[in-house]
Copies of this chain bind each other. A is one copy, B any other.
Amino acid sequence: MIVLMQVGAGRDAVAAVVARVEAAGCTAHETRDEGRAVLSVLGRGAAELREPLAALTGVERVVDVAPPWKLASREWRGTSTVVDVGGVAIGGERGAGGPLVIAGPCAVESWEQLESTARAVKAAGARLLRGGAFKPRTSPYAFRGLGAEGLRMLRAAGDACGLPVVTEILSPADIDLFVQHADALQVGARNMQNFPLLDEVGRVDKPVVLKRGLAATIEELLLAAEYVLARGNSRVILCERGIRTFETATRNTPDLAAIPLVKELSHLPILFDPSHSSGRRSLVAPLSRAAVAAGADGLLIEVHVRPEAALCDGPQALLPADFAALMHDLRAIDSALRR
Q: List A residues at the B interface (Cβ < 8 Å).
A: 1-2, 4, 7-8, 16, 20, 29, 31, 33-36, 38, 40, 42, 47-48, 51-56, 63, 65-66, 68-69, 75, 136-141, 144, 170-173, 190-191, 193-196, 198, 213-215, 217-220, 223, 226-227, 230-231, 243-250, 253-261, 264, 277-278, 280-283, 286-287, 289-295, 307-310, 312-315, 317, 329, 332-333, 335-337, 339
Contact = CB atoms under 8 A, between A and B. Distances in A.
Contacts of A52: 308-310, 314
Contacts of A258: 247
A175 to B, nearest CB: 11
B171 A290 contact: no
A29 to B, nearest CB: 7
Given A29-B31, A38-B65, A40-B33, A333 B293 contact: yes
Given A33-B65, A260-B287, A287-B294, 7 more contacts: A47-B141, A55-B314, A55-B317, A136-B195, A214-B215, A286-B294, A290-B293
B226 A140 contact: yes
Contacts of A2: 2, 33, 38, 63
Contacts of A317: 55
A255 B257 contact: no
Nearest to A2: B2
Contacts of A308: 16, 20, 52-53, 55-56
Nearest to A43: B33
